Amino acid sequence: MLYTWLSTLAGGALVLYVSLKIFFPYFWEDLLYCLRRKRLKAIIKKRASNGILSITDLFMQRVEKAPHKPFIIYEGKVYTYQDVDKRSNRVAQVFLHHGALKKGDTVALMMGNEPDFIHVWFGLAKLGCVVSFLNFNVHSRSLLHCINKCAAKALVIAEDCLGSIEKDFIFHLKDNNVTIWLMSTSSPFQHVDTILDKLDKVPDDPVPSHLRSVTNQRNTAMYIFTSGSTGFPKAAIITHLRALSASLAFMQCGAVSRDIMYLTLPLYHISASLLGIGGCIELGATCVLKKKFSASQFWNDCRKYNVTVFLYIGELCRYLCNQPSKEGDRVHQVRLALGNGIRPVIWKEFLMRFGPIKIFEFYGSTEGNSFFLNYTNKIGAVGRAGMFSKFLHSFELLKYDVWKQELMKDEHGWCKKAPIGEPGLLVVQVTQETPFSGYAGNKEISEKKLLRNVFVKGDVYFDTGDLLVMDQNGFLYFSDRVGDTFRWKGENVATIEVSEIIGMMDFIQEVNVYGVSVKNYEGRIGMAAIVLKPDQPFDGERLYKHVVDFLPSYAQPRFVRIMDVMQITATFKHQKMHLVNEGFNPEIISEPLYFLHEPACSYIPLTREIYKKVVSGEIRL
Ligand SMILES: *[C@@H]1O[C@H](CO)[C@@H](O)[C@H](O)[C@H]1NC(C)=O
Ligand SMILES: *[C@@H]1O[C@H](CO)[C@@H](O)[C@H](O)[C@H]1NC(C)=O
Ligand SMILES: *[C@@H]1O[C@H](CO)[C@@H](O)[C@H](O)[C@H]1NC(C)=O
């Protein structure tokens, strides 16, 4: 009797197991992932009850636990957790002594990758200031816009970023009552304060801890600029909660305190600052910080410092694969990489070449309210809509007409879901658990990122601006960006901003900017279709000078196409899709094409020879 009973039970369990395997092959992985995510949320909550409410709090805890553990290694020099703590105290003391800042003030930070970026960041955080990271490639008009948007009271600028700044700009900031602090011992400008010379003159004691105390984790911790979807860069609001959650990403992938992280991406991006530096603090790990990514030094550095994990963007992996093969390519201790934008082909090549490295591809945006992580062994997927993901966030892929650049609606005006296997616009429901914090000083633009009344009256979704495809098994794949941005060299380019700047030229009547893909490059490179004013010739030299003065290099349109008329869509938007598809091939396009040629300091006619050289890679873009 007992025997029959037991065998029935065992049989039942076996049937259950087998049917799970067949019908829900990812059941366990989905469940584990969901539980892990839930656990991380619980960790943040529990810590909050112990007074850890911000990254700075977390950092202070690490300093207490392991003061002598190396935190940053930069150009061979080691900075322990305590070293960083002390130097950031000094930065805070300088501002405190100067009486320049109060708790809650916003301070813009324009620095490249170096330890002082982190010292200033934490120094300001210890004073309770909101730090706003600026992209140092951006200058003139855009930069002013950034500083105004986040209502910065002060700008801290590294000496090596000063070169790209015009004198007018300094005066302009002064007029706007923005104080400027230079990370240097002396200043070439009057009225520009210096920091480095003052650091030795103040104690390295902590500033009063009530300054940095956080009352609500949903308050703003920092601003990180993003091109979002339209117009000038926007300051995405990063709350303390968001910053702490982002810092957990590496731990989620299985990184531990023994790990040594190699960080080559720019710190002003959320990925390097929060996933990277925040992630190290979370783990209590060590970060080898690099001024700039170098494909030829990458593996040597990894060997030299015993690097075990790194952060990537798709381009980085591609550049590494493009390096000539070496015998020692697989000799290293790297075991894990986290990042986004790696293409399946490159991913395979990367593993073949550099050995078994676990690659965790994630999907998420600076301002977005969700985060997807590839947690199953599926090449190319950015994430998964597992059985349990509904407990984490509620997202949908909406049917989208790429030609008209708009959502497809049913007869009642509700959105439609994209069928399996077809690209749809990813939207994520805005809830208490997955809030959208918006952009600083711009209610209107924040509202534009939201879709209301999608399926029922009153529902709200965050519009990611990305098209994704879901397959039969619920895996999500990135397909394309829609609308007004494209990515090039890891940066978002906002087509409207570029159009506005090109439109300032007096010989141009109309501009339409878009991104075109080039073989063997990630993302899309900028191209501008322009209509000239009647009887005005195209002036390549002047356009070149203008573009170089006003736009960071990744946003400068590499190709120009002269059109007689600009086609528009039924809703009066510029037609982009057919232009994007036609690309820049002079064999296909009969209209005049130009090419931004640095040696000539001009836009020169795009000949077939140039086209061939670009496509073959002889001319590097
Ligand atoms: C700057 O500060 C001065 C003096 O406090 C004030 O008069 C002026 O209006 C301020 N300018 C701006 C643009 O806020
Ligand atoms: C890297 O690891 C090796 C072997 O474990 C060790 O001898 C060496 O000192 C380490 N190098 C660094 C920079 O930590
Ligand atoms: C997805 O995750 C698996 C397991 O962690 C990993 O082995 C694989 O490399 C990842 N693939 C991509 C494209 O991210």
Tokens found for residue 103: 């708790």
Q: How far is CA 233 from CA 63, 223, 493, in A?
A: 35, 11, 9
Give the residues surrounding ligand 2 with Cβ less than 6 Å away.
305-306
Decide: 358 in ligand 3 pocket, CB within 6 A. Answer: yes
Q: Which ligand is nearest to the CA of 29?
A: 3
Give the closest residue (by CA) to ligand 2 atom 6.
306
Q: Which residues contact 8 (CB under 8 A, 6 or more apart)?
A: none
504 and 572 fall within a common domain: yes
- pLDDT at residue 480 in the model: 74
SS3 of 363-395 = ECCCCCCCCEECCCCCCCCCEECCCCHHHCCCE
- pLDDT at residue 5 in the model: 66
Give the closest residue (by CA) to ligand 3 atom 14.
361
123 and 244 fall within a common domain: yes
Residue 298 domain flag:
no
114 and 154 fall within a common domain: yes
> 218: CA distance to ligand 3 center in Å?
32
Higher per-residue confidence, 496 vs 13: 496
Give me the CATH number covering residue 562. 3.30.300.30
Decide: 173 in ligand 1 pocket, CB within 6 A. Answer: no
> 61: CA distance to ligand 1 center in Å?
40
* Rounded percentage of the chain residues whose pLDDT exceeds 70: 87
Q: pLDDT band for 318, please (50, 70, 90 cuts).
A: confident
Decide: 374 in ligand 3 pocket, CB within 6 A. Answer: yes
As a whole number of angstroms, the distance between CA 244 and CA 33 comes to 19
Higher per-residue confidence, 619 vs 344: 619
> 333: CA distance to ligand 2 center in Å?
11
> 221: CA distance to ligand 1 center in Å?
26
Decide: 616 in ligand 1 pocket, CB within 6 A. Answer: no
H or E segment and range at residue 451: strand 450-452
Higher per-residue confidence, 115 vs 248: 115
> 306: CA distance to ligand 2 center in Å?
6
H or E segment and range at residue 525: strand 525-532
> 171: CA distance to ligand 1 center in Å?
14
448 and 413 fall within a common domain: yes
Give me the CATH number covering residue 51. 3.40.50.12780
Of 20-34, 109-123, 464-478, least confident by mean pLDDT is 20-34
pLDDT at 573 over 70: no
- pLDDT at residue 448 in the model: 80
Per-residue model confidence as pLDDT tens digits over 92-136: 999 999 888 999 999 999 999 999 999 999 999 999 999 999 988
> Mean pLDDT throughout 494-521?
87
Q: Give the residue, out of 148, 174, 177, 178, with the most ligand 1 atoms within 8 A of its beta carbon, to mutate for a pocket test.
A: 177
Phi, psi for 391 (deg, rounded to 5): -80, -15
Decide: 177 in ligand 1 pocket, CB within 6 A. Answer: yes
Decide: 347 in ligand 3 pocket, CB within 6 A. Answer: yes
377 and 518 fall within a common domain: no
pLDDT at 386 over 70: no
pLDDT at 79 over 90: yes
Q: pLDDT band for 549, please (50, 70, 90 cuts).
A: confident
Decide: 176 in ligand 1 pocket, CB within 6 A. Answer: yes
Residue 342 domain flag:
no
Domain boundary pick from 481, 515, 542: 481
For residue 294, give the 3-state DSSP assignment. coil
Round to the nearest angstrom and report the end-to-end CA distance of the chain: 77
Give the closest residue (by CA) to ligand 2 atom 14.
305
511 and 461 fall within a common domain: no
Decide: 190 in ligand 1 pocket, CB within 6 A. Answer: no
453 and 520 fall within a common domain: no
pLDDT at 46 over 60: yes
pLDDT at 389 over 90: no
Q: pLDDT band for 444, please (50, 70, 90 cuts).
A: confident
Residue 499 domain flag:
yes
pLDDT at 602 over 80: yes
Residue 183 domain flag:
yes
* β-bridge partners, 439: 236
Q: How many CB atoms lie within 10 A of CB 262?
A: 24
pLDDT at 581 over 80: yes
CB 34 within 8 A of CB 388: yes
- pLDDT at residue 471 in the model: 83
- pLDDT at residue 606 in the model: 94
pLDDT at 466 over 80: yes
Q: Give the residue, out of 306, 332, 333, 335, with the most ligand 2 atoms within 8 A of its beta carbon, to mutate for a pocket test.
A: 306
> 311: CA distance to ligand 3 center in Å?
14
Q: Which ligand is nearest to the CA of 336?
A: 3
Domain boundary pick from 292, 307, 334: 292
Rg of the chain over Cα atoms, rounded to whole angstroms, equals 26
Q: pLDDT band for 22, please (50, 70, 90 cuts).
A: low
**Total count of domains within the chain:** 3
- pLDDT at residue 577 in the model: 77
* Rounded percentage of the chain residues whose pLDDT exceeds 90: 43
As a whole number of angstroms, the distance between CA 536 and CA 200 comes to 60
Give the closest residue (by CA) to ligand 3 atom 3.
377
476 and 496 fall within a common domain: no
- pLDDT at residue 320 in the model: 92
510 and 449 fall within a common domain: no
**Which atom belonging to ligand 1 lies closest to the Cα atom of 176?**
13
> Mean pLDDT throughout 595-602?
94
Decide: 361 in ligand 3 pocket, CB within 6 A. Answer: yes
Tokens found for residue 56: 């700075």
Give the closest residue (by CA) to ligand 2 atom 7.
306
**Which atom belonging to ligand 1 lies closest to the Cα atom of 177?**
1
Pairing type for strands 593-597 and 286-289 reads unpaired
Q: Which ligand is nearest to the CA of 378?
A: 3
Phi, psi for 499 (deg, rounded to 5): -60, -45
> 589: CA distance to ligand 1 center in Å?
54
Q: pLDDT band for 384, please (50, 70, 90 cuts).
A: low
Per-residue model confidence as pLDDT tens digits over 182-227: 999 988 888 889 999 999 999 999 999 999 999 888 899 999 887 6
Per-residue model confidence as pLDDT tens digits over 288-303: 999 999 999 999 999 9
Domain boundary pick from 451, 481, 511: 481
pLDDT averaged over the chain?
86
Q: Which ligand is nearest to the CA of 356?
A: 3
469 and 560 fall within a common domain: no
Decide: 377 in ligand 3 pocket, CB within 6 A. Answer: yes
**Which atom belonging to ligand 2 lies closest to the Cα atom of 305?**
13
pLDDT at 578 over 70: yes
Q: pLDDT band for 462, please (50, 70, 90 cuts).
A: confident
Residue 469 domain flag:
yes
Largest CA distance in the chain: 100
Give the closest residue (by CA) to ligand 2 atom 12.
305
> 388: CA distance to ligand 3 center in Å?
19
- pLDDT at residue 556 in the model: 94
Q: How many CB atoms lie within 10 A of CB 585?
A: 14
Residue 305 domain flag:
no
Per-residue model confidence as pLDDT tens digits over 362-372: 877 666 655 66
Residue 322 domain flag:
no
Q: Structural domain of residue 581, as residue ranges?
A: 486-616
pLDDT at 388 over 50: no
Give the closest residue (by CA) to ligand 1 atom 7.
177
475 and 491 fall within a common domain: no
Considering only CA atoms, which of 466, 253, 217, 513 is closest in space to residue 366?
466
Give the closest residue (by CA) to ligand 1 atom 4.
177
Q: pLDDT band for 62, please (50, 70, 90 cuts).
A: very high
Give me the CATH number covering residue 379. 2.30.38.10
